[in-house]
Structure 1
Amino acid sequence: MKLNKNHLATAILALFTSLGAVAQTSPQAGYFLFPIKPGVRNYLSGTMGEIRSNHFHGGLDIKTDQREGLEVHAAADGYISRVKQSSYGYGNIIYITHPNGLVTTYAHLLEYNKPLADYMLQKQYEKQAFDLELFPEPGQFPVKRGDVIGLSGNTGGSGGPHLHFEIRDEKDRLYNPLKYKFTEVIDTTPPDIFSIGITPLNIHARVNNAFDRSEFRTKEVGNNYSLTDTVFAHGLLGLELQTIDQLDGAANKNGTQEVTLLVNGQQIYQHYIDQVPFELSRQVSQHINYNQYKRNGRTFQKAFIDYGNDLPLYKADERSGRMVVQPDSVYQVKLIARDSYNNTSTLSFVVKGQRPKFTQTAAKAVKKPSIDYEIIGNVLKISATDTAQTPQNIELYVNNQALMLVPSYMKNSTSVSLYDLRAGLPDSMRFCGLSKNFGIEKAVPPNKDFLFTNRYLKVLFDKQSLYDTLYLQTKLEGDVYTIGDYFTPLHKAIKVTITPPAEVKDKSKAAVYFLGTGRGRGFEGGKWEGNSITFTTKNMGKFKVMEDTKPPVIRPVVKNSSVISFKISDDLSGINSFNAWVDGKWVLMKYEHKKALIWSEKIDKSVPLSGEVILKVKDNAGNEATYTGRI
């Protein structure tokens, strides 16, 4: 019996579906071939579970001798089920589906092997587009273990030549490839533990008698670590760990796969970074101390499950790993960091329970009265200095009612008063003739749709936008809108409508930009209705409507019968699209945004480029630049 193409595809798909039920939960060593130089020692620049700006690193970054063009091998039998070409993200990527139901991915490729390369090129010409994602049928591109499927490169968001290699299952969960015991990678080096952070998690908690997150540097003795001093604490605490892993022969700082917390010999928390759901990867923002990461680039992984974190990576007690410290009690604490090869490091230290107490410290020098505040979780923390020997109370106004807030403790001549915001949102405070407004406009709850409006903006929070309650503060200064602050993470986007205070001359060229903390301007876009513009964003912080009236800049680089190439750039909104024609016929232009370079690829290599050349480049504001010339 002969099978036509459709019958063959159906048969292969049915076979793979039936075998997919045994997707490996206990991986077999040797099932997957190492995709770069198999059988030869390799080195990694990245591993599973590293913390990136908004996701967990989902696989391995395999070094390619600091160059492009190494052969990339299929890790196992299967078929190419998905292929994508883009200037961003994964760049050129291939997905291979295997009989066991797993999928391997090969990203940042320089090029695909034939016949896939020809297929992609043909489709790009049919659709007249560079960015393209295709889903071939199961029987269309079968591969055998070890087949060369492409060449390694540096495309997309890659920061240097390498191959990004992933293993996923049918639910798009990301597996740790190193558990497949590749002999090409050697690791006998245990993780490093640099510091820990300890955070009070409610208004009654203290670390060394202060309502402050405290950091402690570790002291290394062999594979074991300790703290120089005993920690005195009270109440509900959250521990954080700063740890990295390094593999033999490489200086790269990689992710530590597993962290376990034991208190008095009892395990109260563990995370194991594997089978990460792709759609939840952004929740890394709650896995780490996001505020610290954004402020100073240091990554502290929480050793407790924070609110809004739904990642299935954890085993924890009924308090989700939060530590409870009672007065006059002693706690032996161990934090264990383990990598993919079971190399282990342990941090051991002692926490002693100490009841919070008020200690009065005289002013070291006469100071002018001052007052400031910060919001930590649900707690308003007010810090005040005064010339008086005895600290004075804070007048707190809630719904126009005055409350006297008694200082909780003193630290370095500063009195600290604490208030639980769940008792009511305060309007302002007074101290020693000074007054300050808080500007807290609303307590926005998580897990529900919520619309906030005031005189200059409207914000719609999706039920999955927030991880925890947000004490929302907004501001309009000139033409800059502030929504919350840059150090608050969002999971899903918020929808914002603003009406600029000044007339916008050309709305077709005007859009919203995210200002961040530096000089950068991130294009957010937006849709105008009358004098208002609505946009969606996954950022909190400062926004501004700006007009982009300048077209992109085009600079010719090469122009001959074989290839044309150009440098293209835009000073504000960014490149949106580009199209080229030679002698009236559309020509595919490939794009490498890191080099601001586009170049042609002919569908028929035997036909020389000849005639009039037209290139049109458009930015996100709709400005268009045109180049014309001849070959």
Structure 2
Amino acid sequence: MKLNNYKITFTLFILSLAFTLKAQNSDPYTFPIRPNKTNFLSGTMGELRSSHFHAGIDIKTGGKIGEAVHATKRGYITRIKVSTAGYGNALYMLHPDGNTSVYAHLHEFDEEIQKYVKEEQYKQQTFEIELFPEPYQFSYKTQEVIGVSGNTGGSMGPHLHFEIRDSQQRVLNPLHYGFKEIRDNIPPILQGFVIRPMNEDSKVENEFKRQNIPYNRTGFNYTVEDTISAIGKIGLELWGHDKLNGSANKNGISIIEVNVNNELQYRQNIDVMSFGLQRHILVHYPYDVKVTSGARYHKLYVDDGNSLKYYDTKNENGTLNIKNGEVYNISIKMLDPYGNTSKLEMVIKGEQARSRLDKSIDFELDELEYMVDDDYLKIYAQSNCNDDAEELNLNFDKKIKSINPSYYLDSVAVYIWSLKKGIPTSILNCEKGMSINPIKQIVPYSETSISESNMDISFSKYSLFDTIYFQTDYEIITKDSLEIFSLNPRTSPLKSYIEIELSPQLNHYDEEKSHVYKTDDTGNFSFEGGEWNNGKLKFSTRELANYTILSDTALPTIKPNGNLSYIIIDNLSGIASYEAHLNGEWILMKYEPKDDLIWVEWPDTPIEKNGEFVLKVIDNAGNETEYITKL
């Protein structure tokens, strides 16, 4: 049958399109810094940061700014962002395969982009800006220079942050794109290993306590020599890092596998990352350990509330159910993107826990004390009464529950009570009693409001990852005239914001200058903000912590630094805004908060550069300083 012209044209179009797509997809990605030369990384995909997984890779630039940054693949710029935080100066480039590459912390963009950005900054009268150019307005071939590396935004040193994202803006691991500029034949390195009891009936080495497990190292393999005694439901936690050739940096471990008696129990692979779930890192690592020690372990199990897609587990979300008399041969593999592997091996034997242990507690006990540990009430009591009185009485509103010690540490009886079974109001042991600071059970996906004498707290449906047992406390530190409003447990993470309304008891606050600040045990303060209404101060937070109210009446300082640059500093609430004018006309000021440095960036169009120059700086408390000079 003879094809008409339309069918011939359409067929040729389809063949041409298929050839073009094949050519586009075969177009390789190239390294964005010093292509075809050896490079080094300071950060890799999936590293555990405080509030997020590290996306992409950080490429070293020799500790200096100004290294040429090359397009990894042909494409055009779809997004430009200038910010004093986060990615700083960043470019986003769309490629024919639908992926987007990201180049962050740049010092400057390519000349044409730089000119376009400055024009828009003057037009919109703002330094921080986000722009979306037209398609092909700024297009580049593979390895063409699109800017130079820097140290802008949240960067802690000069480097290029580089990402590859798919069409859904999920971050992909750039090290899977065959970059020969990076070499790695070093397996991951173990730094610590821990076993955690997961309910009140489980023990590790006879205790209801997260236990650090010692191990020996041979090369890049590790062995726990002594058989570990455990019973019940337990969770494994691992701390380690990876290294690459020629670099001392401690990078993350993205792939971990746990085999039990030669059967896969758990596997994680942090290889494709969704920004919408980044905060779930707070339930990927043990948040309580990070808060108390700073160490970020990998949980080798999946906790309730964790929606990340990195895991493959056999059953019970990766936890192990250790049965009496059974032996468990555990092998944990750590792998990097280049296939380098290290291994930790151990034996766990199921054994009923002994009731009396020849070891002492690691704190000073005043006869009777308690602590809230996750979902459990852990009570310590001096065992100095007769055997008939060793029971501990838990007092509830309308009943009393008696429980026996879980075990003894020398002469101290340790009691474990699951708060899921009820929340007591007081405890009694050996005629020694103690009231319990009120505990409220807060569950996720439920709006909950709590009213205390000095504060009201509102949880939304999405505030929590998992159920928490919430307590508040209030204290006046007289010598400092400080009110401390405490939200506990500080070892539990929040998924989203809660609303707090404080009712201060002191009356010395200037409401225009007084705001909420988070405070830590070392006396540091960080501005949180808040708004006053009828003598109460309302703010929102995503962290259970200690908060106070401070007044900031000090003006920000402006100090000339030469060549139309200035040092601007505020010692308490922090810089909120800044603005400069020359003879009444707005002038662009670039700002680098890390250096407290601000400087003039003249427009590309000719202007009069003489006259009255006014720089105004305002802090978060509304204090304003003006610096006026003649140019």
- TM-score, normalised with respect to structure 2: 0.92
2: CA distance between counterparts of 1:609 and 1:197? 64
Name the structure 2 match of 1:520. 524
Q: Structure 1 stretch 294-303 or stretch 183-192: which is displaced more?
A: 294-303
Instruction: For 1:300 and 1:458, locate their aligned partners in 2 and report how far apart those are by CA, in whole Å.
Output: 34
Q: Which moved more, 1:300-309 or 1:513-522?
A: 513-522
Q: CA deviation at 1:194?
A: 2.2
Query: Is the 2:27–2:73 contact (alpha carbons within 8 Å) kept by the matching residues of 1?
Result: no
- Give the share of equivalent positions with the same residue, in percent: 37
The 1-side partners of 2:572 and 2:252 are apart by 35
Which runs of structure 2 are paired with 1:417-432 in the superposition (5 Å)? 417-432=415-430
- The answer on 1:493 being equivalent to 2:497 is yes
Q: Matches of 1:44 and 1:608 in 2, distance apart?
A: 46
In structure 2, C-alpha distance between the alignment counterparts of 1:171 and 1:436, rounded to whole Å: 55
Following the alignment from structure 2 to structure 1, what is the Cα–Cα distance between the partners of residues 360 and 597?
Answer: 62
Look up the match of 1:461: 459
Query: What pairs with 1:155-304 in structure 2 (closer than 5 Å)?
Result: 155-304=152-301
Shift in alpha-carbon separation, 1:363–1:212, aligned structure 2, 3 A: closer
Aligned to 1:545: 549
Equivalence map 1:578-589=2 (5 Å):
578-589=578-589
1:518, 1:589 → 2: CA distance?
A: 35
Alpha-carbon shift at residue 240 of structure 1 (Å): 0.5
Q: More deviation in 345-354 or 575-584?
A: 575-584
Alpha-carbon contact 1:400-1:427 (below 8 Å) kept: no
Identify the range of structure 1 (190-199 vs 594-603) with the bigger mean alpha-carbon deviation: 190-199
1:347, CA displacement in angstroms? 0.6
Deviations 1:254-304, CA, capped at 9 Å, x for gaps: 001100111111111110001111111111111111111222221210000
> Which structure 2 residues correspond to residues 556-575 of structure 1 after superposition, within 5 A?
556-559=560-563, 564-575=564-575
Which residue of the partner structure matches residue 509 of structure 1? 513
CA distances 1:436-474 after superposition (whole Å, capped 9, x unpaired): 222133100023222222232221212222122111100
Cα 1:432/1:104, change in 2 over 3 Å? same
CA distance in 1: counterparts of 2:160 and 2:338, whole angstroms? 21
Secondary structure of 1:426's aligned partner = coil
**Cα distance in 1 for residues equivalent to 2:79 and 2:116:** 12
- Which of these residues, 39, 44, 50, is aligned with residue 41 of structure 2? 44
Q: Is the 8 A contact 2:188 2:335 kept in 1?
A: yes
Please list, as runs of the form range in 1=range in 2, the aligned pairs for 1:22-101 lying within 5 A after superposition: 31-101=28-98
**Counterpart-to-counterpart distance in 1, 2:325 and 2:343:** 26
Residues 1:110 and 2:114 aligned together: no
The amino acid across from 1:603 in the alignment is P
Q: Distance in 2 between matches of 1:431 and 1:626?
A: 65
Find out whether 1:372 has 2:369 as its counterpart: yes
Mapped to 1, the partners of 2:365 and 2:163 lie a distance apart of: 59
Which of 103, 122, 140 matches 1:125?
Answer: 122
**C-alpha distance in structure 1 between counterparts of 2:291 and 2:360, whole Å:** 34
State the 4+ residue runs in structure 1 displaced beyond 3 angstroms: 27-30, 360-364, 386-391, 605-608
TM-aligned CA deviation for residue 141 of structure 1: 1.5
Q: Is contact 2:242-2:250 (8 Å) kept?
A: yes
Task: Name the residue aligned to 1:10.
Answer: none
> Are the equivalent residues in 2 in contact too, given 1:362–1:413 (CA < 8 A)?
no
Change (3 A) 1:167 1:387: same
Aligned to 2:425, the other structure's residue is in SS state strand
Distance (Å, rounded) in 1 between the aligned partners of 2:365 and 2:303 = 40
Given candidates 535, 543, 558, the residue that maps to 1:531 is: 535
The residue type equivalent to 1:534 in the other structure is: K
- Please, which moves more after superposition, 305-314 or 427-436? 427-436
User: In structure 2, what residue type is equivalent to 1:69?
Assistant: G
Cα deviation, 1:41-72, whole Å, max 9, x if unaligned, reads 00001101111110001111100011000000
Range that drifts further, 332-341 or 513-522: 513-522
Q: Does structure 2 retain, via aligned residues, the 8 Å contact 1:88–1:157?
A: yes
After superposition, where does 1:12-31 map in structure 2 within 5 Å? 31=28
Write the deviation string for residues 117-156 of structure 1: whole angstroms up to 9, x where unpaired.
1111011111111111111122321222111111100111
Partner in structure 1 of residue 9 of structure 2:
none
Structure 2 gaps, min length 5 = 1-13, 477-482
Query: Closer, same or farther in 2 for the Cα pair 1:91/1:362, shift >3 Å?
Result: closer
Aligned equivalents of 1:60 and 1:127: distance in 2? 33
Distance 1:363 1:56, change over 3 A: closer
Per-residue deviation, 1:100: 1.4
TM-score of the aligned structures, taking structure 1 as reference length: 0.92
Deviations 1:374-425 (A, max 9, x none): 2233221112224458582222211153322210111243211111111111
Contact 2:25 2:97 in 1 (8 A): no
2:135 is matched with: 138
Which residue of 1 is the match for residue 11 of structure 2? none
Letter in 1 for 2:29: F
Shift of 1:485: 3.5
- State the SS of the aligned residue for 1:508: coil
State which of 303, 307, 313 in structure 1 corresponds to 2:304: 307
What is the CA distance between 1:226 and its match in structure 2?
0.7
